Structure 1
Amino acid sequence: MKMVHTCVRVKNLEESLAFYQEAFGFKEVSRKDYPEHKFTLVYLSLENDPYQLELTYNYDHEGYDLGDGYGHIAIEVDDVPEAHERHRAAGFEVTELKGLPNSDFRYYFVMDPDGYKIEVVQGR
Structure 2
Amino acid sequence: MTYQMIHTCIRVLDLETSETFYQKAFGFEIARRRDFPEHKFTLSYLRAPGGDFELELTHNHDRSEPYTMGDGYSHLAVGVEDLEASHRKHQELGLEPKPLKGLPGAPAQFYFIADPDGYLVEVVRK
Relative to the length of structure 1, the TM-score reads 0.96
CA RMSD of aligned residues (A): 0.9
Q: Secondary structure of the residue that 1:30 maps to in structure 2? A: strand
Whether 1:117 aligns to 2:123 is no
**Stretches of structure 2 lacking an aligned partner (at least 5 in a row):** none
1:5-24, aligned counterparts within 5 Å? 5-24=7-26
**Stretches of structure 1 lacking an aligned partner (at least 5 in a row):** none
Which deviations, in whole Å up to 9, do the C-alpha atoms of 1:9-62 show, x marking residues without a partner? 000000001000000000000110000100000000001110000000001212
1:18-37, aligned counterparts within 5 Å? 18-37=20-39
Relative to the length of structure 2, the TM-score reads 0.94
Whether 1:78 aligns to 2:81 is yes
* 8 Å contact from structure 2 (residues 34, 43) kept in 1: yes
Q: Aligned AA for 1:117?
A: L
Report the identity percentage: 50
Once the two structures are TM-superposed, the CA of residue 105 in structure 1 deviates from its matched residue by 5.2
Runs of 4+ deviating beyond 3 Å: none
Q: Secondary structure of the residue that 2:123 maps to in structure 1? A: strand
Match of 1:56 in 2: 58
* 8 Å contact from structure 2 (residues 100, 108) kept in 1: no
Q: Secondary structure of the residue that 1:98 maps to in structure 2? A: coil
CA pair 105-95 structure 1, distance change in 2 beyond 3 A: closer
